[in-house]
Amino acid sequence: MNKQTRLLIASFLSSTFITGAAFAAGVHPTTGEALADDQTFTYRILDEHSSVDPQVVEDVSGAEIVRDLFEGLMNQDRDGNLVPGVATGFTTNDTKDVYTFTLRDTAKWSNGDPVIASDFVFAWKRAVDPELSSPYAWFVQLMSIENAGAIIAGETAVDELGVTAIDDHTLEVRLSAPLPYFAQMTTHATTFPAPQKVIEAHGDAWTKPENIVSNGAYVLTEHLPQERSVRERNAMYWDNESTIVDKVVALVINDENVALTRYLAGELDRTEVPAGQFPRLQKEHPAEAISFPRLCNYYYTFNLSEDGPEAFKDPRVRQALSLAVDRKIITEKILAGGQPEAYTFAPEATAGFTVPEVEMSAMTQAERDSLAKELLAEAGYGPDNPLTFNMIYNTSESHKKIAVALGQMWKQKLGVQTDLGNLEWKVFLETRGNQDFDLARGAWCGDYNEASTFLDLLQSDSGYNDGKFQNTRVDELLASAKIASDTTKIYTEVEQILAQESPIIPIYHYAGVYMMDSDVGNWPVDNVEQNWYSKNLYKIAE
Amino acid sequence: MIAYIIRRLLVAIPTILVLIIASFFLMHFAPGGPFTSERPLPPQVLANIEARYGLDQPLWKQLYDYLFNIIFHFDFGPSFKFKDRDVNDIIAQGFPISLTYGALSFLAASVVGISLGIAAAIRHNTWIDYVAVGLGIAAQALPNFIMGPILILTFTLWLGLLPGGGWNGGQWQYLIMPVIALSTSYMGSIARITRSSMLEVLNSNFIRTARAKGLPTRSVIWRHALKPTLLPVVSYLGPVFVYVLTGSVFVDIYFSTGGLGQAYVGSALSRDYAVLLGVTILYGTLTVVVNLLTDLAYAWFDPKIRY
């Protein structure tokens, strides 16, 4: 049987029976690669996900599952570009504050009901309803949908939300402010539709495998909390014919070293690489150890509030400490997973963001060290008057290694005394949030792919600005970026001010460092947000 | 005897109550709450959530409601982290798994441990004794967090014989490594306690009498020496039973069994108050009950003990 006949039979089978394994023993329709008989993708998740309810889910591993079970208006392709989901497209008015989405009439729920515009209206109202009190209600507010803030605060009725089903296949959204990237935000789990009848019938238990009805490429078939969750192809999905992977298994494995061992024993198709092990694994398994940039940063923030140490009020001290950090040692010797060194707050991987030339990045480490010594001496700190402060980080082996390395670098180069504080996560958040520290670890992953998702953190009134950095020029620039057509100049100036003022010490930007079985096809390594869809993956025959 | 049991149970109630109250306050005084997150929730959303779970009430009221719901509805409250499950669900799902591992480990540790100990004592100062003592000490020196990685590397990675974790409905292949990891060190201790206890008993007067009247060694051991030998072992087995259940925390996490240990540690880290408290009460009650059973077992092993 030649490839064409097999393909013909395969497509015949899939259109006739719409059951699983349509592509098994076949070839990939576009790449022509031979497909494995067993189209099961098994991967590790660090922790039990909080929920698979689209309006409730708040963690990354939960959102990954929700993206398979439900489908929103728009999806992302392997590069992170916007592609149609339930909506075939959208139009917007000139002022970009009214968006109208057209829904495809072939979209169905897994129980056969059609997916209609009112399913989205129900879901979005649900997300802001104080009754549900979703931890992601803020996302709808971030989307600038009319009245979202007032509804969350309980000041306005839920029905006042600026979203209307014009008819079954037309959804209109009204915004309180123009938002050029609104459509991008509809790839987020919070905006996915919800089955009203099922939720009303089962209450909070609607997400259990025996009750759940979903509209994505997969349905939830098994869930043993803290152990595994299994999703299998949804025969009712409008594009089920193009789905190749039949079954996706997420295994909860808390310990990353156990996960790696189980990967090497062939139990998993994907797992994370523990810090420091990438070079060895790359040597032993060159086709499987992969590293690519992620949309996250890692930094230390100075406490610039009134409670903070006097020494840190002097920008020279902050700059000296930042200069003396040999980032290469941290990225190459400690993490060793291909993470880029950071001299700016926003990562280079951010869409439309050109990394501005900051002075520090052009210098050699020796030059930085001598400048650091000079600056610190100018500020009045030296052997007679040594600088001492505490630094806190949350419990994790690699955070600890980095903190120890930083302390050593400062001690050797500048004679600075540091007192390290290892805090459990919730204690850490509380301590940092109360400005009860001198220097604290921080990290941020972008909520959307635009530099403001990072830079806004350093706005004076940002709730996430735990270092309490205040700079009116930065605030002005960030406000102007919201309506500017070209933001390059603005973001460059912001980063230059940050380099000058050093309210934070950027250390490195994250990389996705995985062991990925070489028979997994089409993993979206170029999607920096790592929004992946199992329906786009396939398993190649070995 | 009956009066004794009733008395003990009556003492158990205030004990558990104190445990609940102390845990409740300790938990609430730990910094951070269930909804503390890196992305601080807007005040309105936080207020809505706290109202939903009654966390906006004063602490005494929360404690009162909590106890009321346990006593009158046997309802241990909702999970703050997992919306579609409550504490009863989480325990009902995880405890049978932990119990299976725990009971099998307990059985393995006591049967193998006691046998090794007896063999060593009977063949005192022979190679059997040396091997048994050697094994016992080696086993005792291998706590579960050392055994776990050794087992997984050997049986999963190098030999490829056993799955590296999971539960899979309790299939035997999935039980072997967790049970070995959990039982080894207790096995070692039990063997050593049994051996020294047996040696002491074998040197006592009533054994000499039994031998003197011409009983074969087998009957001396089984009919006369065994029961008194096991007395100190039983007092150790009681706590061991509780340890293998609570000590399964590591095994649950390391072998991803889906057992209660994962939920317990996870709830402490995420400040999922109701789950944390529910599991604490379960473990506390278990300790009280097992201690009572151990005390009752003494009477059977030693006729001199009367309640």
- Whether the CA torsion B228, B231, B234, B236 is positive or negative: it is negative
Q: What is the pLDDT of residue A23?
A: 52
The CATH architecture annotation of domain A292-512 reads Roll (3.10)
Q: Does the A40-245+517-539 domain belong in CATH 3.90.76.10?
A: yes
* CA pair distance A267, B163, nearest whole angstrom: 8
State the pLDDT at residue A478.
92
Q: What is the amino acid identity at position A314? A: D
Mean per-residue pLDDT, A314-331:
96
Query: What's residue A115's pLDDT?
Result: 97
Q: In whole angstroms, how far apart are CA B118 and each of A64, B80, B114, B115, B297? A: 56, 50, 6, 5, 20
Shortest Cα–Cα distance, B138 to chain A (Å): 24
**Cβ–Cβ under 8 Å, residues B49 and B271:** no
CA–CA gap between residue A324 and residue A411 (Å, rounded): 10
Q: Helix, strand, coil shares of chain A as percentages rounded to 5?
A: 35, 20, 45
- The average pLDDT across A459-479 equals 91
φ, ψ (nearest 5 deg) of residue A524? -80, 75
DSSP per-residue codes, A88-105: EEEEE-TTS-EEEEEEPT
Domain ranges of chain A: 40-245+517-539, 292-512
Chain B nearest C-alpha distance from A127 (Å): 11
Enumerate the residues of chain A whose CB falls inside 8 A of the CB of residue B33.
Answer: 426
Asked if B90's CB is within 8 angstroms of A227's CB, the reply is no
CB-based contacts of A37, cutoff 8 Å, min separation 6: A24, A25, A541
- State the Cα–Cα distance between residues A287 and B117, nearest whole angstrom: 52
Instruction: Judge whether residue B275 has pLDDT over 50.
Output: yes
pLDDT one-digit tens code per residue, A167-178: 999 999 999 988
Which residues in chain B touch residue A224, judged by CB atoms under 8 angstroms apart? Answer: 93, 167, 258
Residue B227 predicted with pLDDT over 90: no
pLDDT at A11 over 70: no
Above 80 in pLDDT, residue A12?
Answer: no
Find the length of chain A.
542
* Chain B residue at shortest CA distance from A463: B40
Helix (H) or strand (E) holding A520: strand A520-521
Q: How far is CA A76 from CA A181, A445, A533, in A?
A: 13, 18, 9
Tokens 């509030």: give the residue: A305
Give start and end residues of each alpha helix (H) in chain B.
2-29, 43-52, 59-73, 87-122, 127-140, 144-151, 172-202, 205-212, 217-219, 226-246, 248-254, 260-270, 273-301
- Please check whether the two domains, A40-245+517-539 and A292-512, share a CATH topology: no
Whether the predicted pLDDT of A341 surpasses 80:
yes
Single-letter amino acid code for the residue at A351:
A
Residue A328's CB is within 10 A of a number of other CB atoms, namely 11
Residue A470: which pLDDT band, with cuts at 50, 70 and 90? very high
> Residue A15's pLDDT is what?
41
Residue B305, classed as helix, strand or coil, is coil
pLDDT at A287: 94
Number of CB atoms found within 10 A of residue A102's CB: 18
Interface test with A, best of B35, B37, B44, B151 (most A CBs within 10 A): B44
Does residue B248 have a pLDDT over 60?
Answer: yes
Q: What is the nearest CA distance from A119 to chain B, expressed in angstroms?
A: 21
Domains of chain B: 96-264 (1.10.3720.10)
**Mean per-residue pLDDT for A190-207?**
95
pLDDT at A16: 38
Matching residue, tokens 């409250």: B77
Residues of A in contact with B262 (CB under 8 A): 48, 226, 252, 254
Question: What was the pLDDT predicted at B9?
Answer: 87
Residues 6+ apart with CB under 8 A from B126: none
Task: State the pTM of this model.
Answer: 0.88
> H or E segment at A510?
strand A504-516
Which candidate, A161, A447, A505, places its Cα nearest to that of A319?
A: A505
Q: Tell me the per-residue pLDDT of A75-129, one tens digit each, with 9 for 90 and over.
A: 999 999 999 999 999 999 988 899 999 999 999 999 999 999 999 999 999 999 9
Label residue B28 by pLDDT band (50, 70, 90): very high
pLDDT exceeds 70 at position A404 = yes
Residue A20 confidence (pLDDT): 42
For residue B176, report the phi and psi dihedrals to the nearest 5 degrees: -55, -60
Q: What pLDDT digit, counting tens, does each position of A262-320 carry?
A: 999 999 999 999 988 999 999 999 999 999 999 999 999 999 999 999 999 999 999 99
Please indicate whether, in this complex, the C-beta atoms of A430 and B156 are within 8 angstroms of each other: no
Compute the nearest-CA separation of B267 from chain A (Å): 11
A439-445/A388-394 β-pairing: parallel
For the cut 80, the answer to whether the pLDDT of residue B39 exceeds it is no
Which among B30, B156, B165 has CB closest to A253? B165
Q: Give the confidence band of B36 by pLDDT, cuts at 50, 70, 90.
A: confident
Report the distance separating Cα B67 and Cα B197, nearest Å.
45
Q: Which of A137, A226, A262 sits opposite B263 (nearest CB)?
A: A226
Q: How many CA atoms lie within 13 A of A352 on its CB side?
A: 17
Contact assignment for B166 to A426 by CB distance below 8 Å: no
Q: What digits encode the pLDDT tens for the residues B277-301?
A: 999 999 999 988 898 888 888 877 7
pLDDT for B179 equals 94
- Chain A residues inside the 8 Å CB shell of B52: 133
Q: Look at A12-16, A155-159, A374-378 and tell me which has the smallest mean pLDDT.
A: A12-16
Structure tokens at B287: 């300790």
Q: According to the model, what pLDDT value does residue B142 have?
A: 85
Give the other-Cβ count within 10 Å of B254's Cβ: 28
Q: Residue B52 and residue A38: Cα distance in Å, rounded?
A: 45
**Predicted-assembly ipTM surpassing the 0.85 threshold:** yes
Q: Give the integer Cα–Cα distance in Å for A421 and A405.
A: 14
User: Is the distance from CB of B145 to CB of B254 less than 8 angstroms?
Assistant: yes
Q: What element of type H or E holds A151? A: helix A148-152
CA distances from B225 to A427, B208, B221, B235, B298 (A): 55, 11, 5, 17, 15
From the list A123, A161, A121, A157, the residue with the least C-alpha distance to A141 is A161
**pLDDT given at position B247:** 66
State the pLDDT at residue A25. 56
Rounded to 5 degrees, what are φ and ψ at A511?
Answer: -125, 150
Rounded CA separation A173/A349 (Å): 30
- Find the mean pLDDT for residues B145-167: 92
Q: Rounded to an integer, what is the distance from CA A73 to the centroid of its chain? A: 19
Q: Residue A222: list chain B partners with CB under 8 A.
A: none
Mean pLDDT of B248-276: 90
Give the pLDDT confidence score for residue B298 in this predicted structure: 82
**What is the enclosing helix (H) or strand (E) of A223?**
strand A218-224
Percent of chain B exceeding pLDDT 70 equals 100
Q: How far apart are CA A110 and CA A236, in angstroms?
A: 5
Residue A197 identity (one-letter amino acid): K
Cα separation, A147 vs B110, whole angstroms? 66
